[in-house]
Structure 1
Amino acid sequence: MSDIPADQPDGKFSADAAAGFAKEQLMSFVERIERLEEEKKAIADDIIDVFAEAKGTGFDVKALREILKIRKQDSDQRAEREAIVDLYLQALGMVG
């Protein structure tokens, strides 16, 4: 037997305890991320269902997706994008 206690100068006990804590913390992070990924998948499935329901009642899903994209933009971003699209359409002779 050694005369040095396990939690003393060689630091072995402290290093083992730290490694154990790090392992537990890492496992906690991994498990939380996995739960969130499962929730994200469930929400994505719900969104797909809503789009299918909208399509089933006659709405254009592509148009809905475009509206959602536009609604995420602030008014300045939206105005800038619309101005650029308008400019391109004029350059192509598609609007008068």
Structure 2
Amino acid sequence: MAEATGDRLRLLIERIERLEEEKKGIADDIRDVYAEAKATGYDANIMRQIIRLRKMKPDDRSEQDTILETYKAALGMG
């Protein structure tokens, strides 16, 4: 039984290691796309913000916008 448990654990660890490698490859691909966007004149930081906003639910995004405007007004930032 211990051997089967050890085999199962090893297989799980190896799967995680493969997925970590895939994740690194995807992260490298994403970095390349941002570099390409920057080379063509786009602002990568703004693109990251847009992607973050697009992931949010519309109600959450609206609430965040409202709070941001409130904070800006309190600081005299218009």
The verdict on a shared fold, with TM-score over 0.5 as the criterion, is: yes
How far apart, CA to CA, are the structure 2 residues paired with 1:72 and 1:91?
A: 28
Give the structure, 1 or 2, with the largest relative contact order (CA under 8 Å, sep 6 or more).
2
Deviation at 1:77, TM superposition (A): 0.5
Structure 1 runs (4+) greater than 2 angstroms displaced:
none
What TM-score does the superposition give when structure 1 sets the normalisation length? 0.80
Structure 2: 5+ residue runs without aligned partners? none
Q: How does 1:1-96 map to 2 (within 5 A)?
A: 18-95=1-78
Answer 1 or 2: which has greater helix percent: 2
Structure 2: which amino acid aligns with 1:56?
A
- For these two proteins, the number of residue pairs brought into alignment is 78
Structure 1: 5+ residue runs without aligned partners? 1-17
Which has the larger Rg?
1
